[in-house]
Structure 1
Amino acid sequence: MRGVLIGVVGAVVVLGVAGAVAVPEAKEWFDGRHEQTSSYATGKKAKEERASVPRWLPDDAASVEYAMRTTGGERILKATLHDARLPARCEPLHGRKAPAPEISASWFPSGASDGAQGRCGSYYVSLEKDTLYAWQTHDDWVRDNRDPAR
């Protein structure tokens, strides 16, 4: 009987450790399945190839990186701007705090929301030298795409 008890306890411990490792990996795999990342030479090419890239992105923006979640409106974008200024259609935040991006990528800084300077449409934006970082939350995407007739 003691051998059976030790065996059951051992199995529970092994399964508990395996579950602690497998569950986070399964979540990461599941989340990753619903994200798409793309790179484009210019803003114009990005907008031609993907309808969800924001229209305010300048055509002459270079080295565009874009990631989106296919199950919602979460988006992040990085681009090099030739004039090192926010696009003309962007508005300052006027002291409002920007929410953090809801997805991540190796090329997108984790503290981007701390340096948010404005809004371009439904995107929050930050400019570091000539590099634009932009992100859209799911809630902002929903508000931006809500049917005005409702």
Structure 2
Amino acid sequence: MRGVLIGVVGAVAVLGVAAAVAVPEAKEWYDGRHEQTSSYATGKEAKEERESVPRWLPDDAASVEYAMRTTGGERILKATLHDGSLPSECEVLGGKSAPDPEISASWFPSGAAKDVTGRCGSYYVSLEDRTLYAWQTNDDWVKENRRSAR
């Protein structure tokens, strides 16, 4: 009987360790498989190939990087703007704070929300020299889609 008990305890310990390793890896796999990243030469190309790229992105924007979550409205965007200024559709926000992006990519800076420059539609934007960083939270995406559905 003692041997059976030791065997059961050992099996439970092994399963516990396996679960401790597998669950975080499964979550990472699940989250990652619902994210898509794309690169485009211009804003025009990005908008033609992906409907979810914001329409306010200038056609002549260059070196466009875009990432999105397919299970919600989380988006991040990086682009080089030729004139170095926000598109005309955007609103400048003076000193307001913004929520952090809900997804990440190696090309997107971690402190963008601290340096928010304005809003372009449902996106927060930060402009550094001629590089535009933009992000949309799921909550803002939901609000935007409710407005456009009316």
Tell me the secondary structure at the aligned position of residue 146 of structure 1: helix
| Corresponding residue number in structure 1 for 2:119 | 119
| Corresponding residue number in structure 1 for 2:20 | 20
- 1:28-107 equivalent positions in 2, closer than 5 A: 28-107=28-107
1-structure distance, mates of 2:125, 2:147: 25
2-structure distance, mates of 1:12, 1:92: 58
**Cα root mean square deviation, aligned:** 1.6
Paired amino acid for 2:79: A
2-structure distance, mates of 1:112, 1:78: 11
Deviation at 1:114, TM superposition (A): 1.4
- 1:133-148 equivalent positions in 2, closer than 5 A: 133-147=133-147
Q: Identity across aligned pairs (percent)?
A: 83
TM-score in terms of structure 2 length: 0.91
| Corresponding residue number in structure 1 for 2:8 | 8
TM-score in terms of structure 1 length: 0.91
Deviation at 1:23, TM superposition (A): 0.8
2-structure distance, mates of 1:91, 1:75: 19
1-structure distance, mates of 2:49, 2:114: 31
| Corresponding residue number in structure 2 for 1:128 | 128
